[in-house]
Structure 1
Amino acid sequence: MDNYRLPTNVKPVHYDLTIKTDLKSFSFQGLVKVDIDVLEDSSSIVLNNLDLDISEAYISSDLTKFEKISSTHTSQERTTFDLPNALQTGSKAQLKIHFSGKLVTGLTGYYKGSFEKDGATKYYAVTQFQPTSARRAFPCWDEPLLKATFAMSMISREGTMNLANMPVISEHPFESSEDVPADLAAMLPENEEDKWTITKFDTTPKMSCYIVAYANGQFDFIESSVVMPLSGKTIPLRIYSTSNIEQAQYVMDVTKAVLPLYEEVFDVEYPLPKLDTFVATDKQGAMENWGLITGQTNGYLIDPSNAGVLEKQRVVSFQSHEIAHMWFGNITTMEWWNYLYLNEGFATLMGEVIIPVRVYPEWRVNSEFIVSHLSKAFNLDAKPSSHPIEVDCPDANNIEQIFDALSYSKAGSVLRMLCDFVGQEKFLKGVSIYLKKHLFGNSVTHDLWEGISDATGINITEIMEAWITKIGFPVLTVTESEQGITVRQDRFLDAGPAKPEDNQTIWHVPLNIVSVHDGERSVDRAAVLHEREKDFAVDTTKPFKLNAGTNGFYRVLYTPERLVAIGKEAIKENSIFSLEDRIGLVDDAVALAKAGLLKLSSSLSLVDLWRDEKEFLVWKSISSSIEHLKSTWWEYPKILEKLNAFSRSLFMPLVKKLGYEYPADESIDTTLLRTLAIEQAFAAEDQSVVTELRRRFKEYQDTRDSSKIPSDLQTVIFTAGVKHGAREDYDTVVETFTKPTSPSEGYAALRALSSTKDEKLILETVVIAFTKARDQDVLLFIRELAKNNAAKRILSKYVQDNYNQIYTRFEASSFALDELLTTPLGVYSTSEDLEAIQKFFKDKDISKYERAYSQALDSIRARIAFIERSTSDLEEWLSKKY
């Protein structure tokens, strides 16, 4: 038997699953009847089970009626059933299991959540099964390859509502009568005064266990419908929520806008008769359960009367991503978790770029992708501890660890590069071919490449193999001659040049050389580097650059002189270099300096050239670069002071020009740029900005009327109140965090509380995070506190002092565990701190977060090298100006 895959002697084909949920005792009972195809002679059946009590189990086959069988819980989250008579190859059988479990917190399996309504605490239960937690809710074959159909029934207390993947087909009281099957008799209420209801749902198509979903509780909902373009069918839509249902209209509008577009671009009908979305107070991120998407309030609910652009963009990003999975992941599912990126990378590209750009063109989401995803992927993939996009997953611990920026952002980035290379129309045609060929089935990487190859006539496997199966990405070094340019590729590492043993991969790199032809911008899409080094004919007397549109997943190193020339050309009114080109240039410049391939002063001089830049996204890239420098030299007060002066000199002119008010008729770009400029000037401690934001916070403090605060400035105003305020200001924001009027207001308060400079209040915030915040908010607190220079060492000490409690609380969810334990310790930049952290973890079991731990150590090492290499250069450049 494979040490991490279930035996293949039997295969489930249909589950009949009944769940009885008791929100008073926080427990559930279940009966699952599984129809099985017997593929080999079998004297035992092994399936997945974790933390469930199995009371009775029975087997029937073609030859025998139901017989009681014994079960043995084994290691690796499995239960083995020993059969009295061997099942014969080619026969069919049914396994019937009675089980029970506890509803506990933890955001995984079938878990309990809570919310406040009418002055009382209400409880509900909901599932989160990806990647391997269906086994916590019912005994099953919890592997994506083992698809089956599901018929769900839910028994619940009267007055509560049941949700599942499919529509309800019947609902009636559950009480003693002849209509109750004998199998369910054990679930009948013992007390006749208790009123229960049984809800039956339609049968699903073939699907993997991890996208099964159900929920029980008291929920509000809004509803609508949409007519689909291929089938002409009307699909009912509902948004359910535990609170603030009036704030769910925007996600309904998004759903109605994007769902038909997916059916159109994939040329594959949406296969289910409805699509619901359940917004929960206790939920981490979002989940693409088929027909029942689940998501957290902070990602889905917005105040319709005072919603900022960033809030709306967040809702679109969340929901469009999850709807992409209804096809790419749910209809066609990866064979095993090695191919997670097939789901997540594709949903990132489709859900956050290709579809939103058709609905919200003014948001320029393709350009935003460079800042939000490409840069994030570069940062992780530049570390020695990175991993290939397609990575072996030998056990459940490793599966959760690959839900990272490589499976989402890097995979989305290389697919975006491929889409640009072959053209979006052919790319989507290839995806459609792939989906149609694997409808309701499973797939591996080469199945996708085969579909796109069919659509393009290009050998896609040859192009993409190294990008998917090899670690890292290249930096292209450009040298010039009278004949043109020579381009060389080497692996990029942020701690310094790669050693020969780490520099073996040769990538297939589309160069997309942009230059001037007949006075116009021209892009050479035929130039491809698929060897270590190659010459290309380019007129170097005219402006040029590689990676037009920053679609390629690589960095480019020019000579300092060429970088200056590109920078000067880029700021011209009618430059041949696009917005996306400028975003990529800034990001590359600072990263190359960090790696020791370019002087830091050269990258800062490039930024200094662009003071008259008008585009928000370029300024966002500039601000990210400066924030990175500040987070590296955070224990160097004099350098920090001058970096702040540099930042003020860049952003204060924008604040003075744009002001603090948000006219209703202004462009989205102007709105976002104003917010960014104010936030950056405040972070750089400009006193006029601090004073104005403090004034606005005082108004809020006196009135508690958040409607007078522009939504886009809510976070920075609250932060000004806490960071530059007293105890009473901190307490005001604590109250807001405890009882927010909207999820975004609660998040703004959370970020503000994490910004305090007072050591006593920092510790109070840490305690609030770990003792009063919801599970998913603990992680948000950690991320924000880790950005606060005054809080870094306090947070780190708290995590170390309370390591065992934190580990025990979040052990079931490695999604959270890795960040909770490594983020507070990965902020350091000295050899002494590195040694201390390694010493602390020396005797710890890091198997559940080994990748994140290694990445945190790599971040510290890269920071140490950056400081050693560039401090004098940085000081010299800053001293000349400030």
Structure 2
Amino acid sequence: MSVQNDKYRLPLNVKPTHYDVTVWTDLEKLSFGGSVKISLDVLEDTSAFTLNSNKLELGTASLNSDGNEQLQSGHTIDTDMQRVTFNFPTILPAGSSVQLKIPFNAPLGSSMTGYYKAAWEKDGKTAHYSLTQFEPTDARAAFPSWDEPALKATYAITMISRAENVNLSNMPAISEEPYKHDFVDTLGGAPLSKDSEWKITRFATTPPMSSYIVAFASGPFVHLEEKVHLPLSNKTIPLRIYSTPDVIHQAAFALDVAVRVLPIYETVFEVEYPLPKLDTLVAADFDAGAMENWGLITGRTTALLLDPARADVHAKKNVAYTQSHEVAHMFGNITTMAWWDSLFLNEAFATLMGEVIIITIFTSRRIFPEWRPDSEFISDHLQSALALDAKLSSHPIEVECPDANHINQIFDALSYSKGASVLRMLSDYIGEDKFLKGVSIYLKRHQFSNTVTNDLFSAISEATPGVDAVQLMDNWITKIGFPVITVTENESGIHLRQDRFIESGVVEPKDNETVWSVPLSIVSEKNGQKIVDKTAMLEDREKNIALDTSRPFKLNSGTVGVYRVSYTPERLAKIAAEATKENSIFTLEDRMGILYDVTALSKAGLAKLSDTLTVIELWSNEKEHLVWSSISQTLLSLLVTFWEHPKIVENLRALIRSLFVPIVKRLGYEYPPDEPIDITELRTLAISMSVSGEDQGVINELKSRFSHYVQTGDRSRIPADLQSVIFRSAVRFGGAEEYEAVVKIQETPKTPTERLTAMTATQDQALLDKTFSYILTKSRDQDIIYYFRGLQGNNFSRRQLAGFFKTNYDLACFSRAIQLHFLIGVYLVSSSFSGMSSKADCEDVESFFKDKDNSKYSMALAQTLEGIRTRIIYIERSSDDLAGWLQKWEKRTKL
């Protein structure tokens, strides 16, 4: 019991059962401290207690057993392992119960991890508040703890702060009163200032929970509140959203989403929401998008705020999906993973439930009836998952992650998006009702405990007689990659073969050993009727299936499967042509999947790139925004890939203009109220793509609108949905005047979406140098990634961005972002180099990182390098084919 299997895990000679955590926060001195009293069950005779602590100054620990107290005889700190071991004079026998008390204090840092400070502007001056971000391994940076998810305990939080501040935690406050005691030793650190009034806030005790979802915050918060009646528990609880006073008016929408979805979750899961309240706190400085602290959701401004008068469709969807995702976690937190290798149990679950299933119910109740969350999932999650998992440097959904450096790196498209995609595929195969019943069984059976992957699939199997979900899903969860199904036709039907799909097309036998259980979901036509066979399964390497190939057919109906499908060029042409018909058996989701597949296959050399462009040209009369969005992603990726081939770029821009400018002319630039959302999004996309195609008429219109705004202050000609493209176009095709105007707007934003980083679009070297300087001197750490992504998308700045990263790698702001923050460092590495496309680039990147400690971003670096190598092969393989197709297209269109 006392030693776990690897050195990164804590000893199990004792087990925590309850924490009394008292924390004082001084927002003027930017420091905190306190004491933690931990109730422990002693499982083996011991006089040593090893737990996690990171960057805390620790006082003298004491141990109380049956009223007998002893002070530590000494302690040792392991900085690398983030642990402290306290030794005591007397051995405690197995079976005894003890209380370990430890004083601590530390500065409030700005790493956006642990207990940290966030900045906001109050009356023109910088002010601060404090909050926590513990996932995955940073509760130990706020108070000494057994900081592993399986070591659940109850928590009673007490906070001491200046009287004017609001204190928040997972549970509701049960008392609040003035604090007059002069403390030094009992709570750690220096005495609190007698020049201020202080208060003490005590919170109710939590249910058993993992340390990473404990949370507390202190600051000048204000809130909005709604009451919600929960149908299963038949109780009414308060839902609140907190922020600083300057932005609280933009928080109502996120609160409304929580109010609407929380009762739906109770009904769907058949599980009572276990807490007496649910709060959300909006933070100005926040590393991730949002965090599912139990009863106290936290998140960044762009994820939770919007101004109803200035919000575009994308912003509304982002807030709704984010909030619904985090509320899903409020039920997922009832049953959390035993270790971080099963992270997908948390995140895939919340992604599928929060962003697809519940939002679909949400929209079906006519709140946003035209939203298409299940269709958008294909582009937002499935394709990003397949893109990453097509790399040899990918990792399985369930991946070994012994230490914090590994754990942080798996918060990626595989844990979230691929995990959600395989759950969506399973749900589609067995039926959503059975899937949800299985989830309900899982949550009830493992309430307030920890689980491993097979616990979920066992529960789903129980809800689905005849289906062994454990066996069915095993390779999808434990093996790297996914298959491409190659379809050939014979006299009796079709012959199928599955092989691992690799983005470069180069597959060694050792990388092609996995055989997946693949739900085929074949859509076909019989007697004029559409038929979808969801029982068909490919469980072997190869298989024949009887099918009438004289009629239209397609695998992966609805693009639910986590795989690619490769048809012969002749069959692909027939499918693409059939998909354009008015009453085709192929749906919007099918058309999206067809295009995504042929694009990926052409990159891998399994189809010609010209096949992709032929499909796009064939679909030039498409009406659906989401298909046009798929087309735009394909064309933009080609612009980025072939960015150093001027003639190809010129012809691609001409193709883009031919496709999207007619849509702009048809839809115009105005956004009538109450028009269908699909039209709104299509108009925005068409205008944006016309700018990418450098259509002078569209550019002039956008520049005129920006100029009118700058000269008059009248925003009436800048619709919310066009704000971003107008600002970027003004900078890209303007000069210093436009650049300085967007800088001014960005520095005094009225809404979160006005932090647009439009300055990254400049084509002027002097202005680009100003942008680089701005990043180093004025950007918030959390916003650096937005600048990098903008610069990466700009042909003029792409190569300079790589040089900027290398030159400034050791500067404080970069090293802090790379070494301290939860996610930002990983994204900086990939964003800086992902657009490189030559052998010299690849060698340069390899050389630069050769002597660097890449332990915190090793996965991102490997994936980035593989992406460069794949791009090199892609360009060599497809340049002539692409150039040839574009030349023929140019001649055809000029006839």
Q: 1:603–1:843: structure 2 CA closer, same or farther, 3 Å change rule?
A: same
Which residue of the partner structure matches residue 169 of structure 1? Answer: 174
Q: Note if contact 2:241-2:251 (Cα within 8 Å) is conserved in structure 1.
A: yes
Does the CA contact (< 8 Å) of 1:675 and 1:712 recur in 2?
yes
- List per-residue Cα deviations over 1:409-435 (Å, max 9, x = no partner): 100101000000000000000000000
What is the 5 A alignment of 1:264-663? Answer: 264-284=267-287, 285-328=289-332, 330-360=333-363, 361-457=369-465, 458-663=467-672
Aligned-partner residue type, residue 81 of structure 2: Q
Judge conservation of contact 1:397–1:814 (CA < 8 Å) in 2: no
Aligned counterpart for 1:753 among listed residues 755, 759, 765: 759
Distance 2:41 2:69 in 1: 16
Contact 2:59 2:188 in 1 (8 A): no
Instruction: Kindly indicate whether the alpha-carbon contact (under 8 Å) linking 2:22 and 2:157 is maintained by their aligned counterparts in 1.
Output: yes
The structure-2 alpha-carbon separation of the partners of 1:409 and 1:32, relative to structure 1 and needing over 3 Å to count, comes to: same
Deviates more, 1:131-140 or 1:775-784: 775-784
C-alpha offsets along residues 246-279 of structure 1, whole Å, 9 cap, x if unaligned? 1111111101111111111111000000000000
TM-score normalized by the length of structure 1: 0.98
Q: 1:22 aligns with which of 17, 23, 26?
A: 26
Aligned to 2:826: 818
Segment drifting more, 144-153 vs 352-361:
352-361
Q: Please report the TM-score for the alignment, with normalisation by the length of structure 2.
A: 0.96
Q: Distance in 1 between matches of 2:716 and 2:62?
A: 61
Q: C-alpha displacement at 1:405, in angstroms?
A: 0.4
Cα gap change, 1:25/1:810 in structure 2, threshold over 3 Å: closer, same or farther?
Answer: farther
* Aligned mates of 2:531, 2:59 — CA distance in 1: 71
Match of 2:815 among 807, 824, 842: 807
* Structure 2 CA distance for aligned equivalents of residues 719 and 665 of structure 1: 27
Give deviations 1:165-205, integer Å, cap 9, x for gaps.
1101111111138xx9x974767855533211111111100
RMSD across aligned positions (CA) = 1.3
* Aligned: 1:869 with 2:869: no
Equivalent residue, structure 2, for 1:214: 216
Matches within 5 A, 1:730-741: 730-741=739-750
In structure 2, relative to structure 1, the CA distance for the partners of 1:566 and 1:14 (3 Å cut) is same
Cross-structure match for 2:247: 244
Aligned amino acid, residue 776 of structure 2? F
**Aligned AA for 1:82?**
N
TM-superposition CA deviations, 1:270-327 (whole Å, max 9, x none): 0000000000111121000000000100111111112211111000111011111111
C-alpha offsets along residues 826-867 of structure 1, whole Å, 9 cap, x if unaligned?
A: 211111110111011111111111000000001101101100
- The CA distance in 1 between the partners of 2:506 and 2:472, in whole Å, is 25
Quick check: 1:38–1:87 contact (8 Å CA) kept in 2? yes
Contact 1:320–1:356 (Cα < 8 Å) also in 2: yes
- Counterpart selection for 1:37 from 21, 37, 41: 41
Which deviations, in whole Å up to 9, do the C-alpha atoms of 1:127-156 show, x marking residues without a partner?
000000111110001100000000001011
Deviates more, 1:773-782 or 1:868-877: 773-782
- In the alignment, is the contact (CA less than 8 A) between 2:72 and 2:86 conserved in 1? no
Distance in 2 between the 1:662 and 1:700 partners?
18
Distance across 2 between alignment mates of 1:707 and 1:295: 31
1:235 correspondence with 2:240? no
Q: Distance in 2 between matches of 1:808 and 1:678?
A: 38
Cα gap change, 1:705 to 1:68, in 2 (>3 Å): farther
Give how far 1:66 is off. Answer: 4.2
Instruction: For 1:461 and 1:191, locate their aligned partners in 2 and report how far apart those are by CA, in whole Å.
Output: 59
Aligned-residue offset at 1:462: 1.1
- 8 Å contact from structure 2 (residues 592, 630) kept in 1: yes
Secondary structure of 1:290's match? coil
Q: Structure 1 stretch 355-364 or stretch 847-856: which is displaced more?
A: 355-364
* Match 1:86 to one of 88, 91, 94: 91
1:782-801 Cα offsets, whole Å, 9 max, x none, are: 11111111111111111101
State the match for 2:366 in structure 1: none
1-side partners of 2:66 and 2:447: how far apart?
A: 30
Q: Which amino acid aligns with 1:91?
A: S
Q: Is the 8 A contact 2:283 2:298 kept in 1?
A: yes
Q: Distance in 2 between matches of 1:354 and 1:819?
A: 29
Distance 1:229 1:759 in 2: 60
Alignment partners' CA distance in 1, 2:597 and 2:205: 51
String of CA shifts for 1:741-768, please: whole Å, max 9, x gaps.
110122x3x1x11111112212211221
Q: Which residue of 1 aligns with 2:893?
A: none
Q: What is the CA deviation profile of residues 60-102 of structure 1, one whole-angstrom value per residue up to 9, with x for unaligned ones? A: 1137324344221114000000111111101000000000011
Cα distance between partner residues in 1 of 2:643 and 2:81: 44
In structure 2, do the counterparts of structure 1 residues 775 and 190 end up closer, same or farther at CA, with 3 Å as the change threshold?
A: closer
* Alpha-carbon shift at residue 501 of structure 1 (Å): 1.1
Distance in 2 (alpha carbons) for counterparts of 1:171 and 1:571: 66
Distance 1:702 1:528, change over 3 A: same
Task: Pick one of 787, 793, 796 that aligns with 2:799.
Answer: 793
Question: Unaligned 5+ residue runs, structure 2?
Answer: 364-368, 891-895
Distance across 1 between alignment mates of 2:313 and 2:335:
33
Residues 710-730 of structure 1 deviation map (CA, whole Å, 9 limit, x = unaligned): 110000000111111110110
- 2:114 aligns with 109
1:59 corresponds, among 30, 44, 63, to 63
Verify the 8 A CA contact 2:104 2:189 in the aligned structure 1.
no
Whether the 8 Å CA contact 1:40–1:89 is kept in 2: the answer is yes
Map of 2:771 onto structure 1:
765
Structure 1 unaligned segments of length 5 or more: list them.
Answer: none
Which of 55-64 and 404-413 deviates more? 55-64
Q: Give the Cα–Cα distance (whole angstroms) in 1 for the partners of residues 237 and 622 of structure 2.
A: 46
Does the CA contact (< 8 Å) of 1:106 and 1:810 recur in 2?
no
**Equivalent position of 2:129 in the other structure:** 124
Code of the residue aligned with 1:598 in structure 2: it is: A
What is the aligned length? 875
Matched, 1:669 2:678: yes
- Between the aligned residues of both structures, percent identity stands at 54
C-alpha contact (below 8 Å) 2:114/2:132 kept by paired residues? yes
Deviations 1:476-529 (A, max 9, x none): 000001210000000000111411111000000011110002201111111100
Contact 1:449/1:460 (CA < 8 Å) preserved in 2?
A: yes
Counterpart residue number, 1:200: 202
Contact 1:601–1:874 (CA under 8 A) maintained in structure 2? yes
In structure 2, the residue corresponding to 1:791 is in which secondary structure? helix
Asked whether the 8 Å contact 2:103–2:186 carries over to 1, the reply is: no
Q: Give yes or no for contact 1:72–1:79 (8 Å, CA) kept in 2.
A: yes
CA contact (8 A) 1:20 1:187 kept: no
* AA at the equivalent of 2:386: F
Secondary structure at the residue paired with 1:700? helix
Q: Which residue of 2 aligns with 1:151?
A: 156
CA distance in 1, matches of 2:591, 2:868: 29
Alignment partner of 1:689 out of 692, 695, 698: 698
Counterpart check, 1:858 vs 2:858:
no
Amino acid of the structure 1 residue aligned with 2:75: S
CA offsets 1:230-258 (integer angstroms, 9 cap, x no match): 01111101110123101111111101111
Whether the aligned pair in 1 keeps the contact of 2:113 and 2:822 (CA below 8 Å) is no
* CA distance in structure 2 between the aligned counterparts of 1:494 and 1:287, rounded to whole angstroms: 32
Query: For the Cα contact (< 8 Å) 1:174–1:197, is it kept in 2?
Result: yes
Using the TM superposition, give the Cα deviation of residue 164 of structure 1 relative to its aligned residue in structure 2, in angstroms: 0.6
For 2:157, what is the secondary structure of its paired residue?
strand
| TM-aligned CA distance change 1:85 to 1:184, over 3 Å | closer
